[in-house]
Amino acid sequence: MILPALLLLAALTAASNDHLTVHTRTGIFTGLLNPDFPLVREFRSIPYAQPPVSSRRWLPPAPLPDSNATHYATNFPPACPQYVSSKPTVFSNIVPEFFIWDGNENTTAGLMAQSSAEDCLQLAIWAPANATNLPVLLFMTGGGFKTGGINVPYQIPASWVSRTQSHIVVTINYRVNIMGFPNAAGLDDQNLGILDQRAALEWVHENIPHFGGHPAAITLWGQSAGSISTDFHTYAWHDNLIARATFSQSGTALKPLDNHDHAHTNFTFVAKHMGCDFPHNPAAELDCMRQVSVNRIENFVGQYADSGTTPSLVFTPIADGKIVFSDYPSRAENGLIANTPAIMSNCANEAAALYTYPSTNATAGPWQPGVNAATLKDWLCVTANTSIVRCNAGRKTYRYQYAGNFTNVSPFHWMGAYHSSDLTMNFGTYPDFRGVGTLLERTTSEAMQDYLLAFARDPERGLEGMGWQAFEPDAGDGGFMKRFGADGRAEQNVTGVEVQGVCWGEGTYDPFP
């Protein structure tokens, strides 16, 4: 046992002496070794664009200048401004580990999150102690384009990076809700949150070699809103994606947009209530709104939503013909989609965490037929249609369904494999909050991690080398899919008909396979 201890000590010494301070074009950053996984270096707060504050509020992210300034990247940055709803949900009341966290957050505060702020365009990097030319996964968090950020307990990849010692994970903040998708008449660019994501990807591509990553081996990965965003990127930058592969986890660009306010009435409505009543002078409206505190804006928008007042206010991506489009199938048909492989996935009981449930009787759970209908309409069938669009365009696509129902992640059986629950498998965080987990849970997580790493290493051949075939919807059985965590098995091969045949009227849907 002496030799492994000496090797660990040597690795820690090397990491401490040589790799915790990294020089990039935009600054010098000193990180730390993860307290629980000491072979993992963490750089928790690295700016990737200029702060979007004051006169830069509601403008596209601006590149950072060259700098030799020294920074300690040992604390997580604030998330971008967001509101913590007072309404009880599965995430606020049952699994708050999917929320941004500062150690003392009230998950039903009815106020702007205390761990959020405007100066938020930062990213975090997890890398092995001695990394060289490793594949990189850049992860974009979900949250309905309204919430999310880096410091989410279930989305910390330290244990996964420690386990493999052969890849790097980057997670990012990007602007959300009215700060990220203002849709204001006085602006040329409305989808600022998507532009933030692109700026982060560009920074990583330029600077990740200093952390031991390979700039030509980046996989762009997102979940929910981040997953939809990932697919947006494949169209918006179809001729220069930067990433060589994508992973869209519960959500694609074909999911119908909520925002159709092309008259910009929502922003003007908020501006009027902030004392910025310039309905016929968009420049004055913006100038005035840039003087209003972000807390006041966030609290008004959030409390208005909590009140249930109609019409509702929507600040999410809008089709602008530049970054977000209204007809993705036609763009794919015309080749305006990146020619890169993709993994696309769903959870078996996706909508269970998003459907109204009896918070005073949580054991009862929501109305399952309604959950099934929402799972199909909003998630599974959208992904199924996206897969067909991609395959018709000749873009290689791999598909999986996560179906694990583990009690430490799903405390009530009716939750099943709910929206976001597979993140605990990808990141390896399933044992962190409610027990160590089962053997099946561990083998499921490791199988999912190993497939994702194989894809990141070689998007064209890595999965097929492990027996995971590309999805072909025209196959007689509806195509090849993987299913993880169901029926006492870490993984199994299933058919497209079995998983999503119901989208075309074949059979019935099983949310607990």
CA distances to 286, 357, 390, 483 from 329, in Å: 35, 35, 9, 27
Q: What value does the mean pLDDT take over residues 179-187? A: 97
Q: What value does the mean pLDDT take over residues 156-183? A: 98
42-100 pLDDT, tens per residue?
999 999 999 999 999 999 999 999 999 999 999 999 999 999 999 999 999 999 999 99
* 366 alpha carbon, distance to own chain's centre: 25
- Which residue's structure tokens are 């059986």? 413
Quick one: which of 413, 444, 416 has its CA closest to 509? Answer: 416
Please tell me the predicted confidence (pLDDT) of residue 277: 96
**Within-domain flag for 22:** no
Please tell me the predicted confidence (pLDDT) of residue 6: 43
**Within-domain flag for 4:** no
Please tell me the predicted confidence (pLDDT) of residue 279: 87
- Could you confirm whether 350 is annotated as catalytic? yes
Tell me the torsion sign for CA atoms 373, 375, 379, 384.
Answer: negative
DSSP code for 50: -
466 and 428, same structural domain?
yes
**Within-domain flag for 399:** yes
More confident residue, 2 or 187: 187
460 and 427, same structural domain?
yes
364 and 281, same structural domain?
no
HSE-CB for 269 with a 13 A CA cutoff: 16
475 and 412, same structural domain?
yes
246 and 294, same structural domain?
no
42, 97, 350, 491: the catalytic one is 350
505 and 359, same structural domain?
yes
Residue 224 has pLDDT above 60, yes or no: yes
The three-state secondary structure class of 79 is strand
Sort 5 into a burial class: Cβ within 10 Å, 0-12 / 13-18 / 19+: exposed
Q: What value does the mean pLDDT take over residues 292-308? A: 97
What value does the mean pLDDT of the chain take?
Answer: 94
353 and 285, same structural domain?
no
**Within-domain flag for 411:** yes
Quick one: which of 447, 124, 438, 175 has its CA closest to 298? Answer: 175
Q: How many domains does the chain have?
A: 2
464 and 426, same structural domain?
yes
b/e code 27-47 from CB counts within 10 Å (16+ = b) = bebebbbbeebbbbbbbbbbb
Taking the C-alpha atoms of residue 227 and residue 220, their distance in angstroms, rounded to an integer, is 9
295 and 416, same structural domain?
no
**Within-domain flag for 15:** no
Please tell me the predicted confidence (pLDDT) of residue 505: 92
* 424 alpha carbon, distance to own chain's centre: 13
159, 224, 420, 421: the catalytic one is 224
498 and 449, same structural domain?
yes
Confidence of residue 18 (pLDDT cuts 50, 70, 90): low
Q: Between helices 294-307 and 265-273, what is the axis angle to 10°?
A: 110
460 and 419, same structural domain?
yes
167, 419, 421, 441: the catalytic one is 419
Identify residue 406 by its one-letter amino acid code.
F
Q: What value does the mean pLDDT take over residues 472-486? A: 93
Q: What value does the mean pLDDT take over residues 155-177? A: 98
Please tell me the predicted confidence (pLDDT) of residue 357: 84
Domain range enclosing 277: 269-303
**Within-domain flag for 318:** no
pTM of the model: 0.95
Would you say 366 and 312 are in contact if contact means Cβ atoms under 8 Å apart?
Answer: no
419 and 379, same structural domain?
yes
Tell me the torsion sign for CA atoms 442, 443, 445, 450.
Answer: positive
Q: What value does the mean pLDDT take over residues 296-324? A: 96
**Within-domain flag for 139:** no
**Within-domain flag for 347:** yes
What is the H or E stretch that residue 273 is in? helix 265-273
Residue 2 has pLDDT above 50, yes or no: no
Tell me the torsion sign for CA atoms 477, 482, 483, 487.
Answer: positive
